[in-house]
């Protein structure tokens, strides 16, 4: 899948892009390529530079250094209204004095598309975002989820080559957000436009993206498909930010693997057996004491203090309802095992 996209033309190319606000390096020497038709997520904690990157693509910010190309054209100094990209804003930014129809048709009105044609296209677009017949409502009469759809329709109606989405689902509740994630992905495949999606929610990024770019402190840590960034995190930060990881460094790493190269293991790769059970060959072994048991419905999370002093998180699926490890297992001595193949070497900061 990834290789197929890499055959597509490059929609956006960042080459050594930095953006400084005074002494703060909001974006620090970022280089990346985003391909045509891709659903590309920029994931990171707040202040990691992902939104600034998005705003530089839209034209609301200018890079302090480096170059940004949109379909091969250098865009430094090109104002937002001359760029073939549209944005869905975090706060929707709907025009409160206009009806839903006028909001959606705004871009067409600016481009002087005749009224009848405009009306037809707006109707089509409201159909696409599943808001038919909402033409004459005011934004204030809509729910959060509906406003979000209007914002999406307003941006998509211009048929931009790239659609930028700045945490568009952030204000919605969990259930609605999950529905919208699936719907957004479906819409993206239907219209075939490149989506660049900024989020701090790793699950959201994993759900929708073809590729994910993980940002931290203004730097790009890793770019890869959801499977790649989850299964083969390049850095300790990525391992910890995308899903949960057990990180072993220095002395701890040495105690377990024999050398001090840092590595991570996902909690769900670790199994708990009793201390009198023998570990299969090719498995790492660590003995310890169960410190805490947290029942999470589908899974149970264990915190295990290894004898060397490290605390390890273990996640086990609750496949039967026997509740074999309940809170009474606290303090019990156990043996942890995991296949060596599931250890991932990572780069520290």
**Interface ranges with another protein (CB under 8 A):** 58-60, 79-81, 85-87, 89-91, 93-98, 106-107, 109-111, 138, 140, 154-155, 158
Q: To which residue do tokens 């086990």 refer?
A: 316
- In three-state secondary structure terms, 146 is helix
Contact 75/60 with Cβ under 8 angstroms? Answer: no
**Smallest gap from residue 94 Cβ to another protein (A):** 8
**Smallest gap from residue 60 Cβ to another protein (A):** 6
**Smallest gap from residue 249 Cβ to another protein (A):** 42
- In three-state secondary structure terms, 102 is helix
Contact 202/43 with Cβ under 8 angstroms? Answer: yes
CB nearer another protein, residue 60 or residue 295: 60
CB nearer another protein, residue 73 or residue 291: 73
State the Cα torsion 142-206-67-55 to the nearest 10°. Answer: 20
Q: What are phi and psi of 230, to 5 degrees?
A: -80, -45
Q: To which residue do tokens 């529905």 refer?
A: 179
**Smallest gap from residue 26 Cβ to another protein (A):** 17
CB nearer another protein, residue 25 or residue 138: 138
CB nearer another protein, residue 59 or residue 224: 59
**Smallest gap from residue 127 Cβ to another protein (A):** 20
**Smallest gap from residue 97 Cβ to another protein (A):** 4
Full 3-state SS string of 174-189: HHHHHHHHHHHHHHHH
- Alpha-carbon dihedral sign for residues 52, 57, 58, 61: positive
CB nearer another protein, residue 89 or residue 342: 89
Start-to-end CA span in the chain (Å): 30
Contact 249/261 with Cβ under 8 angstroms? Answer: no
CB nearer another protein, residue 111 or residue 175: 111
């Amino acid at each position: 899948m990834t290789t197929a996209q890499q055959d597509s033309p490059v929609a956006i190319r960042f080459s050594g892009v930095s953006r400084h606000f005074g002494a703060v390096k909001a974006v620090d020497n970022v280089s990346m390529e985003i391909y045509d038709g891709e659903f590309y997520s920029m994931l990171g904690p707040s202040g990691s530079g992902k939104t600034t990157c998005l705003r530089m693509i839209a034209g609301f910010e200018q890079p302090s250094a480096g170059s940004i190309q949109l379909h091969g054209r250098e865009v430094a100094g090109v104002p937002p209204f001359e760029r073939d990209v549209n944005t869905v804003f975090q706060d929707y930014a709907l025009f409160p004095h206009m009806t839903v129809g006028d909001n959606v048709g705004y871009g067409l009105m600016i481009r002087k598309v005749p009224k009848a044609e405009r009306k037809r296209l707006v109707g089509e677009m409201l159909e696409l975002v599943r808001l038919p017949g909402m033409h004459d409502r005011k934004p204030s009469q809509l729910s959060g989820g509906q406003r979000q759809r209007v914002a999406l329709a307003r941006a998509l109606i211009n048929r931009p080559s790239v659609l930028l989405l700045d945490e568009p689902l952030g204000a919605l509740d969990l259930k609605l957000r999950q529905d919208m994630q699936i719907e957004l992905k479906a819409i993206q495949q239907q219209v075939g436009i490149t989506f660049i999606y900024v989020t701090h929610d790793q699950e959201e990024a994993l759900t929708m993206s073809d590729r994910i770019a993980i940002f931290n402190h203004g730097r790009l840590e890793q770019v890869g498909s959801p499977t790649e960034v989850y299964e083969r995190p390049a850095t300790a930060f990525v391992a910890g930010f995308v899903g949960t990881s057990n990180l072993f460094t220095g002395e701890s790493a040495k105690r377990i693997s024999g050398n001090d190269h840092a590595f991570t293991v996902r909690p769900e790769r670790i199994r708990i057996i009793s201390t009198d059970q023998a570990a299969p060959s090719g498995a790492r072994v660590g003995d310890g004491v169960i410190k805490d048991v947290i029942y999470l419905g589908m899974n149970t999370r264990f915190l295990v203090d290894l004898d060397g002093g490290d605390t390890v998180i273990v996640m086990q699926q609750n496949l039967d309802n026997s509740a074999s490890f309940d809170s009474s297992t606290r303090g019990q001595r156990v043996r942890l095992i995991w296949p060596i193949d599931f250890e991932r070497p990572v780069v520290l900061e």
